[in-house]
Amino acid sequence: MKHKGMAWKILVTSLVFSFAANLSAKSPAEALKYLNELTDPLDKISADRLSYIQALAHSNNKRETETKRGAIITSVEKALLNANQATNYDGNSDLKDAVIKYLNVYYTVLREDYGKIVDLKEAAEQSYDAMETYMLAEKKASEKLRESADKFNKEQKEFAKDNDITLYESKDRMSLLLKKSGEVMDYKDEIYLIDFKPYKQEYYLMQALKDQDVKAIEQNRETLLKYAEEGLKLLDKVVAYDGDPSLIQSCKNNLNFYKAEAKDQIPTLVDFYLKKAQFETYKKKFNEKDPKDRTQEDVDSYNKLLGEVNALVATYNNINQTLDKQRGTLIEQWNKANKNFLSKHIPKK
């Protein structure tokens, strides 16, 4: 059963890049020029980051998305080179140091933290705990960048204040798209995790069914029912994103399927396995008896159990076929809902 995989996210960090100069007596034009020379390369990083996020939302080409991630790294490297080659302004290196520090953190996250996240991503589908760890690693990487960006913004404001430069927070389309993209990804991940917990639990249940381990089936069935009901309660608290309830509804359909499966369908399958085991046990004893020693009661009991097993076979097969069909349809709808949600709320250009 294939579940739609997760895509690694790059933090959407809002930096202040729009400037208006209020010229001071001490080289105001030079101060503004110096500020722009240090921060202009950061616009290219933002543009590359947005392009990467748009590729995640609209493209299934892994090579394309990886190429775009590489473009971000290249832009960070160029921005670092630019900052390192810059001179101090009026003997003060605070702004330059802040830019370099921010870019170094960004570069470390892209190179080192991302490498760790890739490893976690490979194992994420193995269990709910692994998926949660993977998402937490993404969150921590984002927080690290956000903290660094906040420190840079603070230093930028100090430089502007000292040089009579008025900063205006950027409200351009790219900044707004980056902010919105981050919100969309976070929202999607919240619902994804609600769905993933019972999804993975059902996998364990399927393994127990395959092994015909009645005890394991019952344990996993009860856990699946619990997770499905917990997920439905969590989902009730989630508000439709920008009036779009599609992800919520698709997730709810999955959870209701798991709930009905665990509550109504699996017990019948368990009855079949129990009846089959009962018949196999009796059959062994029956066959161990010499035919001349078998009583009519023995024969009647054998035929009765065989009839009960055969009567359950059709029901057993019908339930499995129905569940397989419903499961396949829901997975297809879930993957489509995720793709359409990203395509709708993260514009292509």
Beta bridge partners of 20: 166
Token pair for 242:
């920008």
Q: Is 164 helix (H, G, I), strand (E, B) or coil?
A: coil
Q: Is 168 helix (H, G, I), strand (E, B) or coil?
A: strand
Give the pLDDT confidence score for residue 293 in this predicted structure: 87
Considering the domain boundaries, does residue 186 fall inside one? no
**What backbone phi and psi angles, to 5 degrees, belong to 3?**
-115, 145
At which of 122, 138, 171 does a domain end?
A: 171
Is the pLDDT confidence value at 99 over 90?
A: yes
Q: Tell me the torsion sign for CA atoms 16, 20, 23, 28.
A: positive
Cα separation, 10 vs 172, in Å, equals 19
- Do residues 237 and 187 make contact, with C-beta atoms less than 8 angstroms apart? no
What percent of the chain lies above the pLDDT cut of 70?
91
Arithmetic mean of pLDDT, 1-18: 43
Please indicate, yes or no, whether residues 98 and 166 belong to a single structural domain of this protein.
Answer: yes
Considering the domain boundaries, does residue 238 fall inside one? yes
Please indicate, yes or no, whether residues 124 and 200 belong to a single structural domain of this protein.
Answer: no
C-alpha dist (Å) from residue 238 to 234, 246, 248, 330: 7, 12, 8, 20
Count of alpha carbons within 13 Å of 328, Cβ hemisphere only? 6
Considering the domain boundaries, does residue 323 fall inside one? yes
Please indicate, yes or no, whether residues 142 and 283 belong to a single structural domain of this protein.
Answer: no
Burial of 292 (0-12, 13-18, 19+ CB in 10 A): exposed
Considering the domain boundaries, does residue 181 fall inside one? no
Please indicate, yes or no, whether residues 53 and 91 belong to a single structural domain of this protein.
Answer: yes
Beta bridge partners of 165: 21
Cα separation, 148 vs 107, in Å, equals 12
Please indicate, yes or no, whether residues 205 and 314 belong to a single structural domain of this protein.
Answer: yes
Arithmetic mean of pLDDT, 119-123: 76
The total number of structural domains in the chain stands at: 2
What's the mean per-residue pLDDT of the chain? 86
Is the pLDDT confidence value at 113 over 70?
A: yes
Considering the domain boundaries, does residue 1 fall inside one? no
**Entry pTM:** 0.78
Please indicate, yes or no, whether residues 124 and 159 belong to a single structural domain of this protein.
Answer: yes
The model's confidence at residue 26, banded by pLDDT at 50, 70 and 90, is low
Considering the domain boundaries, does residue 295 fall inside one? yes
Please indicate, yes or no, whether residues 159 and 246 belong to a single structural domain of this protein.
Answer: no
Cα separation, 108 vs 31, in Å, equals 29
Is the pLDDT confidence value at 60 over 80?
A: no
Give me the long-range contacts of 258-262 (CB less than 8 A, separation at least 24).
258/198, 258/199, 258/201, 258/202, 258/224, 258/225, 258/227, 258/228, 259/225, 259/228, 259/229, 259/232, 261/202, 261/224, 261/323, 262/205, 262/221, 262/222, 262/224, 262/225, 262/228
Considering the domain boundaries, does residue 127 fall inside one? yes
Please indicate, yes or no, whether residues 124 and 206 belong to a single structural domain of this protein.
Answer: no
Q: What is the tens place of the pLDDT at every residue in 269-319?
A: 999 999 999 888 888 998 988 888 888 998 898 899 999 989 899 999 999
Which domain does 31 fall in, by range?
Answer: 18-171
Please indicate, yes or no, whether residues 163 and 209 belong to a single structural domain of this protein.
Answer: no
Is the pLDDT confidence value at 345 over 60?
A: yes
Please indicate, yes or no, whether residues 123 and 209 belong to a single structural domain of this protein.
Answer: no
Please indicate, yes or no, whether residues 230 and 337 belong to a single structural domain of this protein.
Answer: yes
Is the pLDDT confidence value at 343 over 60?
A: yes
Cα separation, 108 vs 313, in Å, equals 59
Give the pLDDT confidence score for residue 170 in this predicted structure: 63
Considering the domain boundaries, does residue 177 fall inside one? no
The torsion defined by the Cα of 38, 44, 45 and 46, in degrees rounded to 10, comes to: 110
At which of 171, 188, 211 does a domain end?
A: 171
Please indicate, yes or no, whether residues 278 and 212 belong to a single structural domain of this protein.
Answer: yes
